[in-house]
């Protein structure tokens, strides 16, 4: 289980979730104006495209759909965690190889 624990991934996922929360607050502040939820919708693009592919049609997402915004934040934080896990794993392997080469 240790192999799947990544502090870098946790930080990236938390940052992505915090950005999502900030964009939702920004939408609530600007609700009713032209393109008020555009930044929120663009940050949820992976969620929207995946749901569109799975449902076979249009999947609506707007700032006033709080449940979908929370689901999109959770869905989009998972790839951020996986990217952090990959970066940390590669960095650990490179450091271990460097230390191993130096000890020989």
Nearest to 18 by CA among 60, 95, 80: 80
pLDDT (0 to 100) of residue 52: 85
pLDDT (0 to 100) of residue 55: 83
pLDDT (0 to 100) of residue 1: 55
Q: Which two tokens stand for residue 77?
A: 């934080």
Split into its structural domains, the chain has a count of 1
End-to-end CA distance of the chain: 30
Ranges of the chain whose pLDDT falls below 70: 1-2, 57-58, 103-104
pLDDT (0 to 100) of residue 99: 86
Which ranges constitute the DSSP H helices of the chain?
7-30, 38-43, 45-55, 66-103
pLDDT (0 to 100) of residue 58: 66
Structural domain harbouring 89? 2-103
């Amino acid at each position: 289980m240790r192999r799947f624990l990544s502090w870098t991934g946790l930080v990236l996922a938390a940052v992505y979730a915090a950005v999502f929360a900030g964009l939702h607050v920004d939408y609530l502040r600007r609700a009713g104006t032209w393109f008020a939820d555009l930044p929120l919708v663009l940050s949820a693009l992976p969620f929207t495209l995946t749901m569109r592919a799975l449902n076979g049609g249009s999947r609506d997402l707007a700032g006033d759909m709080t449940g979908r915004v929370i689901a999109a934040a959770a869905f989009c934080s998972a790839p951020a965690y996986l990217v952090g896990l990959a970066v940390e794993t590669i960095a650990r392997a490179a450091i271990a190889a460097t230390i191993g080469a130096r000890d020989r």
